């Protein structure tokens, strides 16, 4: 591991913080915390913590000794000074006199000693930092150190490697007890530069930021060198079918498998998003003959359990053309996973005081032989975190097996961490939004209505995919709404197939399609060129059919229903003069919506349309608005609000109509009018 300390960067950090009246100690604390946190082999997603002991002026003007320690909710890689709240050191150290202290009382005592009552909660490991005498303390869950410690003889291996420079603290759950134990171990080994928390992580101490950091990197480097001496080839691979199913075909089956019906009658499901990893280390691992022994043992550090659960779901390799057999095997494996998890909960809850509430028994990581591993969560962001942590486990467990035999803390200790109230708090308690876990694709996604629609679905918690022509730069447009952009020509079935394969592989499937792409061709119907009419039918009818067909295929594979939404425009019911080439295919698309409602209602797939009119967009450009309002002798404002309500209709209004139809679980074959009132276009 490379030491990234730079005198120039350290000085720059001091200068930048001085400008904000922040002292050198905290400035350097921020600097090396970021160095550690930016290295995924040391720190993953909110893991690890650091501290510095310094002096600060309190409100009365008195200089007091404080511990600035990482606050919960901050990530080490991007931390700033407010992420290291100052806690009165005396108040924390006094707690060492107590025999015991509950987690809740500890958190309360730490909060009560903050200089700023608005600061985040100090880390759950703050007392460990406070009880040690050193000025700078760095703590990570370094992969290489865990690989050596997670062994039946991990303590001996580490003692031999680090000698007296590192003292070993036996495993204990984080909290008051561990802080006191670490203090006792250090006091008996005062020469120690570091503390190994067995099967949990690594601490280094120093009188300067640089010393603590240098030691951390040096020790991790020693551990890496020790691992490099181990076996090169670790796992025996099992045979997988020669012709494996395509991951794009398998993902919707997994999404369907992992979706949970909210209640039998509503048609609503709690859905998940997938994130697949299939690098060489992951493939070696998921195909390993030893997978049952290593993957079911538990996570490499207890902290990971809240993101991945103690065990992944392990599925057989799916053979091409035999997906029904895979589906059946996967269901049986999930049923037994749930039974195992429930058993694990009941076994340990019987001894727990107070009694815990069971978490949902579904897996957070799925390993499919031949295909790789999947992070599973309600959002794409959390699925990526679960996948990152699962990959870290793969790396550490493989390295542990390189050196010896992987072994982690006993199941009862894993349960204590998974059901620890302070860990549960890290996951946040925000209620799900109405469309959390749902994946939505919007065609014409980079245009005004498409973007507004994507934004509206995102606001309801959905993951959004914007499809548009390459020239419309869908990837850039998607960034603005926090979604994914895919270049796609919806008039080409081949391009649509490629885009849907990308959606399946990227997020796992699709629940809602907003078929919105369109363009207005004009001409008097008796005189218009056939070519123009056919061109309009390609985009304004056949493209809707292309995407609807592809979407329904995914929805049927998932088996959890779905929703098709079509933008049909008022032309579908109320033709405008010389707008035949636009209105005719739109009228056909209105019937397309009804046909899908009829043919797929039995599968829980709904199909609805929005009938919108006079919205500034790619179809009705600013130039067109100027021309048309002038031709009618109206101001632009009067032209745009020329409807029964006298209100201009905006892209956001159309977007809301799509969202409402997606939420209306009992509505199908409907048309929702969004035109401010146009009696000639009213449906009957």
Residue nearest Zn ion by beta-carbon distance: 201
CB nearer Zn ion, residue 107 or residue 435? 107
Site for Zn ion (CB under 5 A): how many residues?
1
Q: CA quadruple 351, 357, 360, 365: dihedral positive or negative?
A: negative
Q: List the catalytic residue out of 582, 596, 600, 639.
A: 582
Q: Which of 46, 175, 201, 580 binds Zn ion (CB under 5 A)?
A: 201
Residue 600 designated active-site: no
Strands (E), 58-164: 63-69, 86-88, 136-140
Cα end-to-end span (Å), the chain: 72
> Any idea what the Cα angle at residue 261 is, between residues 256 and 265, rounded to 5°?
130
CB nearer Zn ion, residue 201 or residue 447? 201
Count CA atoms within 13 Å of residue 496 on its CB side. Answer: 25
H or E element in which residue 464 lies: strand 463-468
Q: For 50, list phi and psi in degrees, rounded to 5.
A: -140, 165
We find the least distance from the C-beta atom of residue 178 to Zn ion, in angstroms, to be: 9
We find the least distance from the C-beta atom of residue 615 to Zn ion, in angstroms, to be: 53
DSSP of 474-539: HHHHHHHHTSEEEE--TT-HHHHHHHHHHHHHHHS--SEEEE-------B-TTTS-HHHHHHHHII
| Whole-number Å distance between alpha carbons of 230 and 261 | 47
Classify residue 76 by its DSSP letter.
G
| Whole-number Å distance between alpha carbons of 374 and 313 | 10
| Whole-number Å distance between alpha carbons of 411 and 308 | 15
Query: Partners of 564 in the beta sheet?
Result: 513, 607
The candidate with the shortest Cα–Cα distance to 520, out of 566, 564, 469, 569, is 569
We find the least distance from the C-beta atom of residue 197 to Zn ion, in angstroms, to be: 7
We find the least distance from the C-beta atom of residue 209 to Zn ion, in angstroms, to be: 19
Classify the phi-psi angles of 137: left when phi > 0, otherwise alpha if psi is within -120 to 50, otherwise beta: beta
We find the least distance from the C-beta atom of residue 47 to Zn ion, in angstroms, to be: 7
We find the least distance from the C-beta atom of residue 68 to Zn ion, in angstroms, to be: 18
Question: Alpha carbon of 331 to those of 50, 326, 336, 350, 561: distances in Å?
Answer: 44, 9, 9, 29, 18
Which region among 101-109, 198-206, 589-597, 600-608 touches Zn ion (by CB under 5 A)? Answer: 198-206
Residues 27-46 that bind Zn ion (CB under 5 A): none
Distance of CA 55 to the CA centre of its chain: 39
We find the least distance from the C-beta atom of residue 105 to Zn ion, in angstroms, to be: 20
Which region among 200-208, 262-270, 578-586, 637-645 touches Zn ion (by CB under 5 A)? Answer: 200-208
CA dihedral 129, 133, 138, 140 (to 10 degrees): -50
CB nearer Zn ion, residue 301 or residue 567? 301
| Whole-number Å distance between alpha carbons of 344 and 339 | 9
We find the least distance from the C-beta atom of residue 125 to Zn ion, in angstroms, to be: 6
Residues 316-375 that bind Zn ion (CB under 5 A): none
Residue 357 buriedness (CB in 10 A; 0-12 / 13-18 / 19+): exposed
CA dihedral 286, 290, 293, 294 (to 10 degrees): -50
| Whole-number Å distance between alpha carbons of 611 and 214 | 65
CB nearer Zn ion, residue 201 or residue 509? 201
CB nearer Zn ion, residue 173 or residue 672? 173
Which region among 66-74, 197-205, 286-294, 487-495 touches Zn ion (by CB under 5 A)? Answer: 197-205
CB nearer Zn ion, residue 43 or residue 681? 43
CB nearer Zn ion, residue 201 or residue 312? 201
- Residues 6 or more apart whose CB falls under 8 angstroms from that of 99 comprise none
CB nearer Zn ion, residue 201 or residue 372? 201
We find the least distance from the C-beta atom of residue 511 to Zn ion, in angstroms, to be: 37
Identify whether the C-beta of residue 414 lies closer than 8 Å to the C-beta of residue 298: yes
CB count within 10 Å of CB 474 equals: 27
We find the least distance from the C-beta atom of residue 195 to Zn ion, in angstroms, to be: 11
CB nearer Zn ion, residue 194 or residue 201? 201
- Residues 6 or more apart whose CB falls under 8 angstroms from that of 480 comprise 451
Which region among 194-202, 236-244, 541-549, 645-653 touches Zn ion (by CB under 5 A)? Answer: 194-202
CB nearer Zn ion, residue 415 or residue 542? 415
Residues annotated catalytic, as ranges: 582
Binding site for Zn ion (CB under 5 A): 201
């Amino acid at each position: 591991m490379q030491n990234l300390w730079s005198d120039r960067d350290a000085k720059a950090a001091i200068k930048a913080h001085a400008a904000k009246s922040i002292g050198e100690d905290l400035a350097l604390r921020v600097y090396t915390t970021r160095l550690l946190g930016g290295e995924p082999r040391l720190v993953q997603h909110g893991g690890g913590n650091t501290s510095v002991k310094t002096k600060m002026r309190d409100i009365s003007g008195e200089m007091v000794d404080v511990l600035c320690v990482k606050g919960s909710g901050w990530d080490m890689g991007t931390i700033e000074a407010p992420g290291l709240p100052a806690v009165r050191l005396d108040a924390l150290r006094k707690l060492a006199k107590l025999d015991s202290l509950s987690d809740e009382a500890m958190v309360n005592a730490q909060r009560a000693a903050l200089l700023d009552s608005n600061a985040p909660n100090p880390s759950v490991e703050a007392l460990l930092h406070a009880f040690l005498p050193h000025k700078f303390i760095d703590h990570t869950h370094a992969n290489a150190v865990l690989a050596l410690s997670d062994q039946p003889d991990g303590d001996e291996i580490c003692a031999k490697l680090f000698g007296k420079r590192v003292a070993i603290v036996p495993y204990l759950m984080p909290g008051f007890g561990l802080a006191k134990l670490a203090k006792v171990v250090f006091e008996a080994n005062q020469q120690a530069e570091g503390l190994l928390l067995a099967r949990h992580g690594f601490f280094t101490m120093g009188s300067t930021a640089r010393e603590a950091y240098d030691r951390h990197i040096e020790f991790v480097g020693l551990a890496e060198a020790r691992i490099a001496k181990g076996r090169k080839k670790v796992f025996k691979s099992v045979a997988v079918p020669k012709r494996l199913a395509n991951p794009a075909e398998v993902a919707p089956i997994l999404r369907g498998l992992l979706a949970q019906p909210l209640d039998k009658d509503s048609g609503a499901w709690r859905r998940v998003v997938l994130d697949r990893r299939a690098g060489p280390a992951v493939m070696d691992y998921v195909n390993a003959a030893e997978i049952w022994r290593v993957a079911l043992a538990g996570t490499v550090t207890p902290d990971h359990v809240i993101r991945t659960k103690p065990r992944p779901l392990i599925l057989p390799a799916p053979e091409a053309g035999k997906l029904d057999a895979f589906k059946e095997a996967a269901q049986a494996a999930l049923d037994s996973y749930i039974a195992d998890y429930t058993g694990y909960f009941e076994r340990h809850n019987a001894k727990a005081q107070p009694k815990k509430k069971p978490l949902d028994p579904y897996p957070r990581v799925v390993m499919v032989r031949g295909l790789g591993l999947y992070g599973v969560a309600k959002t794409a962001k959390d699925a990526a975190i679960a996948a990152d942590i699962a990959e870290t486990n793969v790396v550490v467990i493989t390295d542990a097996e390189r050196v010896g035999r992987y072994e982690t803390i006993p199941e009862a200790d894993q349960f204590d961490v998974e059901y620890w109230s302070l860990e549960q708090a890290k996951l946040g308690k925000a209620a799900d939004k109405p469309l959390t876990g749902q994946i939505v694709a919007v065609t014409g996604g980079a245009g005004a209505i498409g973007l507004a629609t994507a934004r509206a679905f995102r606001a309801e918690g959905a993951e959004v995919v914007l499809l548009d022509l390459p020239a419309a730069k869908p990837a850039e447009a998607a960034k603005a709404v926090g979604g994914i952009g895919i270049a796609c020509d919806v008039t080409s079935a081949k391009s649509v197939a490629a885009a849907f394969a990308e959606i399946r592989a990227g997020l796992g499937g699709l629940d809602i399609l907003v078929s919105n792409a369109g363009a207005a061709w004009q001409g008097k119907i008796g005189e218009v060129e056939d070519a123009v009419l056919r061109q309009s039918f390609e985009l304004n009818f056949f493209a809707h059919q292309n995407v609807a067909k592809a979407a329904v295929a995914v929805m049927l594979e998932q088996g959890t229903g779905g929703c098709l939404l079509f933008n049909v425009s008022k032309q579908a019911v109320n033709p405008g003069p010389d707008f035949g080439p636009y209105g005719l295919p739109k009228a056909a698309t209105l019937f397309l919506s009804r046909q899908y409602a009829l043919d797929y209602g039995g599968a829980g797939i709904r199909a609805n349309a929005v009938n919108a009119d006079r919205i500034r967009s790619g179809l009705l450009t600013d130039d067109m608005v100027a021309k048309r309002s002038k031709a009618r002798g109206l101001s632009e404002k009067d032209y745009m609000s020329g409807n029964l309500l006298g209100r201009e209709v905006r892209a956001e209004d159309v977007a809301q109509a799509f969202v409402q139809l997606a939420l209306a679980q009992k509505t199908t074959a409907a048309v929702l009018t969004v035109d401010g009132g146009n009696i000639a276009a009213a449906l009957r």
